[in-house]
Amino acid sequence: MTIPIKRLIETGIKYGNDTLLSNWSIADIGRMMRNALLIIINGYSYLIPLLLIIFFFILIKNKKWTELVFFLSFLIPFSLTAKFWYGGLFGRYGSFVAYGLALMIGLIPNKIIYWLMISSIVIAIIPTFIVYQQKPIPLIQRQLIEQVKLTDNDLIILSDYQRPQLPYKNALYINGDKNELSIIEKKINQALKNNQRVLITEQAVNFPYWQYDGQQIHIISKGDKNKAVLKKFLATKKLTKIVEDKHYSFLSIYQIK
């Protein structure tokens, strides 16, 4: 969907109730810094934040203001994008600062430090490389759903993170919208009243916590599952686990009764 330029200018770069010019409390700034740090550490290596501190300290000490502004032109837009965090985009957010970081590393005069930085990035990428050689998580979830023999009369509840890869016509997708959540709860109750089978994935039960983003759990979703959006609603129901994979417990499927 194309957003008119005029609308962007009038509203700011908006996500939910947040805009670029609004919500600049200490908590908002702290969250932005946390997200930026997580992107850099998980996308590159634990040594990159140290590189940034040393590099900018040297520029300021030597009063290289032109170079300082140049490198800040990468870091500031990158940090601002971290203010608008949502699932699945932290890798793409990291691309905003990639060229600046590569140039910083390339300008390191000490060969030992240079190769230490390069080696740390390679080592940081290895676990991600290995996990992406395994069977795709959406495919595993789809195969588990196939085991329950889903029919057109059944209702299945999925996480919004699963929406792109698992588009079922009789599926409802849990997200953070309160109005939509209320509608979904009513549809579940109505389906149960009509003696329909209602299924729900572990990802939907826990949403927005412990959600798969690609092959791994999203780095900021590792929170308290007891705060899941469906927690209170499901407390009034009985959940029976009907399908599970012992290697992927977060992909289990339950029947709601």
Q: DSSP letters of 180-209?
A: HHHHHHHHHHHHHHTT--EEEEHHHHHTTS
Residues 126 and 147 placed together within one structural domain of the fold: no
Residue 10: CB atoms within 10 A of its CB come to 9
The 10 Å CB-count burial string (b at 16+, else e) for 181-199 is beebbeebeebeeeeebbb
Per DSSP, 156 falls in state E
Q: What is the pLDDT of residue 14?
A: 40
Residues 25 and 52 placed together within one structural domain of the fold: yes
Q: Which two tokens stand for residue 138?
A: 């959406």
CA distance 160 to 169: 14
Per DSSP, 250 falls in state G
Residues 48 and 78 placed together within one structural domain of the fold: yes
Residue where a domain stops, chosen among 116, 131, 146? 131
Q: Which two tokens stand for residue 16?
A: 């939910």
- In the block, residue with structure tokens 């080592």: 123
Residues 61 and 86 placed together within one structural domain of the fold: yes
Per DSSP, 25 falls in state S
- In the block, residue with structure tokens 């299945």: 156
Residues 191 and 99 placed together within one structural domain of the fold: no
Digitized pLDDT (tens) for each residue of the chain, 257 residues in all: 333 333 333 333 344 455 667 778 888 888 888 888 888 888 888 899 999 998 999 999 999 999 999 999 999 988 888 887 655 556 677 788 889 999 999 998 889 989 999 999 899 889 888 988 999 999 999 999 999 999 999 999 999 999 989 999 999 999 888 899 999 999 999 999 999 999 999 999 999 999 998 888 888 788 899 999 999 999 999 999 999 999 999 999 999 99
What is the separation, in whole angstroms, between the first and last Cα of the chain?
39
Residues 119 and 172 placed together within one structural domain of the fold: no
Q: Which two tokens stand for residue 80?
A: 């601002």
Strands 155-159 and 212-213: unpaired
Residues 238 and 142 placed together within one structural domain of the fold: yes
- Do 131 and 236 meet the contact criterion of CB atoms below 8 Å apart? no
The answer to whether the pTM exceeds 0.85 is: no
Q: What is the pLDDT of residue 222?
A: 87
CA angle in degrees (0–180, nearest 5) for 197-201-206: 130
Residues 157 and 177 placed together within one structural domain of the fold: yes
Residues 22 and 103 placed together within one structural domain of the fold: yes
Give the chain's domain count: 2
CA distance 196 to 51: 58
Q: Which two tokens stand for residue 82?
A: 């971290």
Q: What is the pLDDT of residue 16?
A: 46
Residue where a domain stops, chosen among 131, 162, 184? 131
CA distance 89 to 53: 25
Per DSSP, 228 falls in state -
- Do 201 and 159 meet the contact criterion of CB atoms below 8 Å apart? yes
Q: What is the pLDDT of residue 86?
A: 59
Residue where a domain stops, chosen among 103, 131, 159? 131
Residues 13 and 121 placed together within one structural domain of the fold: yes
| 137, containing H or E segment | helix 137-147
Q: Which domain holds residue 235?
A: 137-256
Residues 127 and 144 placed together within one structural domain of the fold: no
